[in-house]
Amino acid sequence: MEKRYEIVRNRFVRLGIVIGVMFCLIWMGAGPYPHLVNDGPSWHIIWEGSFGQAAEADLGSGVGGILEIFFANHSAAPATCYDENDSSVIEGWCDTAGLGYANADDFNVELAHSTTFDVVIRVRGNKTQCWRSDKFYDTDLRVRWTSADLSVGGDTEMTGVVSQNDSGIDFLYMNFYDDNSGSGYSLSKDASADITSIKFEAYY
């Protein structure tokens, strides 16, 4: 009787282990059917390089991207200064201060030495990149940049300011700036600096 009892007991133990393993697999989602997971939105690089897509007029119909980069006279109130929606106005600020701007790839801009400036990058996002249901979301766009010569660490995120958010048009316009934590940037005489990376990204 002891041997039979031991055999029966072992069978029950083995059966219990099998049932337990099957329950765990079912509970963990394992089985013969695919298990699909929606990871949700994530950041996508719209453009990455030393600058961006060329001039504003060249982006093309419906295309979101980088419009222009400005080396603007340092502003003590950037959040209200850089909400300007007219590129020519910001270009005027640059010219007046002896600074400059670029709306083409592989640019060289001559800047007045010892003049404090902020770096401002103008972008537009389309409805694929930053539209949810019935309106644009400015938090769905960002610009990150790198410049070892200006002591800007890898992929430093710029501060975004909305210049036009109108659900009745095709784009959200924003200006992203870096004012060096309120101190601005400057170049000494005969010095030069490279912007080694710019990334324009959208969250969708």
pLDDT at 29 over 90: no
Tell me, yes or no, whether 72 and 3 share the same domain.
Answer: no
pLDDT at 19 over 60: no
Q: What is the pLDDT of residues 132-175, one digit of tens each?
A: 999 999 999 999 999 999 999 999 999 999 999 999 999 999 99
Output the pLDDT for position 31.
Answer: 53
Tell me, yes or no, whether 65 and 13 share the same domain.
Answer: no
Tell me, yes or no, whether 119 and 192 share the same domain.
Answer: yes
pLDDT at 198 over 70: yes
What range does the domain containing 100 cover? 43-203
37-51, 67-81, 90-104: least confident range: 37-51
Output the pLDDT for position 107.
Answer: 72
Tell me, yes or no, whether 2 and 49 share the same domain.
Answer: no
Mean pLDDT for the stretch of residues 101-115 = 82
Tell me, yes or no, whether 96 and 130 share the same domain.
Answer: yes
Tell me, yes or no, whether 22 and 91 share the same domain.
Answer: no
The answer to whether 66 and 121 are in contact (CB under 8 A) is yes
Tell me, yes or no, whether 167 and 199 share the same domain.
Answer: yes
The confidence band for 25, taking pLDDT boundaries of 50, 70 and 90, is very low
Tell me, yes or no, whether 17 and 49 share the same domain.
Answer: no
Tell me, yes or no, whether 75 and 122 share the same domain.
Answer: yes
| Residue 80 vs residues 12, 86, 134, 160, 175: alpha-carbon distances, Å | 76, 14, 26, 11, 11
Tell me, yes or no, whether 149 and 104 share the same domain.
Answer: yes
The runs of H, that is alpha helices, within the chain are 2-27, 78-81, 87-96, 127-130
Tell me, yes or no, whether 53 and 125 share the same domain.
Answer: yes
CA distance 87 to 119: 14
Query: How many domains does the structure of the chain reveal?
Result: 2
pLDDT at 76 over 70: yes
The confidence band for 34, taking pLDDT boundaries of 50, 70 and 90, is low
CA distance 165 to 168: 9
Output the pLDDT for position 18.
Answer: 47
Output the pLDDT for position 126.
Answer: 96
Tell me, yes or no, whether 194 and 139 share the same domain.
Answer: yes
